[in-house]
Amino acid sequence: MCGIVGYVGEREALPIILESLKRIEYRGYDSCGVFVLLEDGNPKLHKDAGTIDHLKKNLSESEYRGNVAIGHTRWATHGEPSKRNAHPHLDGKGEIAVVHNGIIENYQHIKEELLNQGYEFVSETDTEVIPHLINLSLKKFNWQLKEAVREALARLKGSYAIIVAEKGFEGLVAARNESPLIIGVGDRENFIASDVPAVLEQTNRVIYLEEGDLAVVKKDSIYIENGGVEVRREERLIPWTIEDAEKGGYEHFMLKEIHEEPRAIMDTLRGYLAEDRINLGFELEGNAKGKSILMVACGTSYYATLCGKQIIENLARVPVQVELASEFNYSDFVLDGTNIIAMAITQSGETADTLMALKKAKRYGSKTVAITNVLGSSATRIADETIYTGAGPEIGVAATKSFVAQLVIFYLLGLSLAKMPESEFRGYLEELRGMPKIAQIVLDEEDTNIQRHARYLSKYEHAFFVGRGVNLPIALEGALKLKEISYIHAEGYAAGELKHGPFALLTEDTPVVAILTRQPLGKFDQQPFKKSLIKNATQASQNIYEKTLGNVKEIKARGSPVIAIAEEGDEEVEKYVDAVIRVPETSTIFSPIPNTVALHLLAYWTAKERGCEIDKPRNLAKSVTVE
């Protein structure tokens, strides 16, 4: 949600700033801007509505030569997306420039105060109060920028990550409170950014600023203080490479990231699985004894978590409660927090609602665990323990590979907590280890078929996705993915629920995507390790399959076209549906993996067919750092 970057060093700053902004454009892309301290000592600002590419077109780079600069790419909160509201924002003299990610909650009050003192405002943003406040404090502190910024920040309520540049100051001042900010450490140069991919091309040495940190970054020094006292922050080596954060020949990040799903599964497994032992890096079993699990998340991570609930409850028989973080934050906490392990599931580790929920659970005495994809992200610093998904950097705004990596963590959690005979446990692990291959089969064998179905789906304006059991959350995820990138109105439903209302919407113009995978009868019989569960599990999955097929027949009777996701070899299904996407056979509990890969491809190709801006869907941004 807004990306900010800064550079100070010996090289030309502007190309580095533009490149860095481009790499984190997923954080917002409705307007952008840069501020450069020129070689002659004068500052120069350029900003506009639209994307970085658009900004570059009207920017004569040779007029912006200088070694210190800041930049911003915006996702509007206060004030429409426009040149006027784009960052950087300046003080009245145009000498102090600020880029900001977050929301200043008390800006209106401060603005009125500043207006009364004669300050003039040119934008509708909350951010503009910051350069004016700094200007106000500069005189008091004998023109010392660090002190002036510190005093200005003391007036602010809300969330912020800011970078400040000032005419005549050979460095940058940065600060954070509830919004992410990192410093990339270079050789006679340093970088500041909201997110690691912004600096990866330059360095993989990174310092994560903490809540309340204020930093003065110069080309050969980094000073950090908190509460006015100097602090030391550890420098970390980021394992991601620049290739990880590039498109690698794919047209869109999203397609590349879908194709990385097998690797995301493998790398996540690799982190925690040695031989036949799962080691999550902390003592889960002892901590979980006699407790239930509370999971909080938003969006796609929430759907993964709904699936995780079923996986863990099925494997380990431990009760799991799943809450939307944004709702949990304002609901009564009626449980005894000390009897709960609270887990926050967040790809970015920076989603504001999820972080608040994590803090709330902590306040109530729960042991807390962050499940995240980003090393050193805010969630990792709040939680007692962290489990990393090994998806690598995810740039496409629509989450894909992080979703399957989160599922893998749920399998590992479920199996870690499960009490089952060793042979059964090994059987599950064996099937889990085979999941990268299963995901790869969908990519290799069904992509062309899915493209054909996507062409068909792309002609419609409404669609339903249905599933049952462990595949209901996958139907919800399929619908979310389709709507956010193709703008087709899509709803995910429990297959049995359509007849309780949504049936009224079914016509020949409302296609339904039905997840119809099943555990074929007899498969369990070939796997002695599951003998204890054979009867129940086989019965249950067969029932789910038959019931869903029954629902599909009801849907067909209302005239809606049906696309089924079904297993290889299931010929029965063809009699009832209009099209079939094939996925390899798996046990029911693992079927969400191939089904997800298929639905991610379907959403991608449908959006592509409709000519949508796939990596930058309208009105969205990755990493939602505001409530």
Candidates 97, 196, 298, 470; binder of ligand F6R (CB under 6 A) is 298
247, containing H or E segment: none
* Nearest residue to ligand F6R on Cβ basis: 299
346 binds ligand F6R (CB under 6 A): yes
C-alpha torsion angle, residues 315, 316, 320, 325 (rounded to 10): -70
67 binds ligand F6R (CB under 6 A): no
Q: Which is nearer to ligand F6R, 172 or 474 (CB)?
A: 474
Give the relative orientation of helices 472-486 and 299-316 as an angle to the nearest 10 degrees: 170
- In the range 481-540, which residues lie near ligand F6R by CB under 6 A? 484
Burial group, residue 252, by CB count within 10 angstroms (0-12, 13-18, 19+): buried
24 binds ligand F6R (CB under 6 A): no
The verdict on whether 2 is a catalytic residue reads yes
Q: Out of 256, 360, 530, 622, which one is annotated catalytic?
A: 622
- In the range 153-172, which residues lie near ligand F6R by CB under 6 A? none
- Least Å distance between CB 297 and ligand F6R? 7
- In the range 351-370, which residues lie near ligand F6R by CB under 6 A? 351, 354
- Least Å distance between CB 299 and ligand F6R? 2
Q: Which is nearer to ligand F6R, 389 or 587 (CB)?
A: 389
Bridge partners (DSSP) of residue 7 are 69, 191
Candidates 88, 299, 390, 414; binder of ligand F6R (CB under 6 A) is 299
Q: Which is nearer to ligand F6R, 348 or 471 (CB)?
A: 348
Stretch that binds ligand F6R, among 7-15, 170-178, 225-233, 299-307 (CB under 6 A): 299-307
Q: Which is nearer to ligand F6R, 385 or 484 (CB)?
A: 484
398 binds ligand F6R (CB under 6 A): yes
Q: Which is nearer to ligand F6R, 130 or 311 (CB)?
A: 311
Rounded-to-integer distance, Cα 132 and Cα 319, Å:
52
Q: Which is nearer to ligand F6R, 326 or 560 (CB)?
A: 326
624 binds ligand F6R (CB under 6 A): yes
Stretch that binds ligand F6R, among 207-215, 281-289, 292-300, 596-604 (CB under 6 A): 292-300
268 binds ligand F6R (CB under 6 A): no
306 binds ligand F6R (CB under 6 A): no
Candidates 31, 51, 101, 347; binder of ligand F6R (CB under 6 A) is 347
Candidates 31, 159, 301, 551; binder of ligand F6R (CB under 6 A) is 301
3-state secondary structure of 280: coil
Candidates 68, 399, 470, 563; binder of ligand F6R (CB under 6 A) is 399
Two tokens, residue 110: 């401060």
523-528 long-range Cβ contacts below 8 angstroms, 24+ apart: 523/585, 523/587, 524/587, 527/427, 528/423
Bridge partners (DSSP) of residue 47 are 33
Q: Which is nearer to ligand F6R, 389 or 471 (CB)?
A: 389
Q: Which is nearer to ligand F6R, 85 or 300 (CB)?
A: 300
- Least Å distance between CB 327 and ligand F6R? 14
Q: Out of 2, 32, 298, 307, which one is annotated catalytic?
A: 2
Rounded-to-integer distance, Cα 377 and Cα 196, Å:
10
Q: Which is nearer to ligand F6R, 517 or 623 (CB)?
A: 623
Q: How many helices (H) and strands (E) does the chain have?
A: 18, 27
In three-state form (DSSP H/G/I as H, E/B as E, the rest C), the secondary structure along 147-210 is: HHHHHHHHCCCEEEEEEEEECCCCCEEEEEEECCCEEEECCCCEEEECCHHHCCCCCCEEEECC
The verdict on whether 298 is a catalytic residue reads no
Query: Prior bond to 436 cis, omega within 30?
Result: no
Closest CA to 292 of 229, 240, 238, 361: 361
Q: Which is nearer to ligand F6R, 156 or 358 (CB)?
A: 358
- Least Å distance between CB 33 and ligand F6R? 25
388, containing H or E segment: strand 385-388
Candidates 190, 348, 486, 595; binder of ligand F6R (CB under 6 A) is 348
Rounded-to-integer distance, Cα 100 and Cα 589, Å:
44
Two tokens, residue 535: 């009867």
255 binds ligand F6R (CB under 6 A): no
- Least Å distance between CB 2 and ligand F6R? 14
103, containing H or E segment: strand 96-104
Token match 């297993």: residue? 567
Q: Are 115 and 89 in contact (CB under 8 A)?
A: no
Token match 């970057």: residue? 5
- In the range 428-447, which residues lie near ligand F6R by CB under 6 A? none
Burial group, residue 618, by CB count within 10 angstroms (0-12, 13-18, 19+): exposed
Q: How many residues bind ligand F6R (CB under 6 A)?
A: 14
Stretch that binds ligand F6R, among 72-80, 119-127, 295-303, 580-588 (CB under 6 A): 295-303
Burial 30-46 (b: 16+ CB within 10 A, else e): bbbbbbbbbeeeebbbb
DSSP 293: E
Rounded-to-integer distance, Cα 193 and Cα 207, Å:
10
Task: Kindly list the residues in this chain that would bind ligand F6R in the complex (CB under 6 A).
Answer: 298-301, 346-348, 351, 354, 398-399, 484, 623-624
Catalytic residues: 2, 622
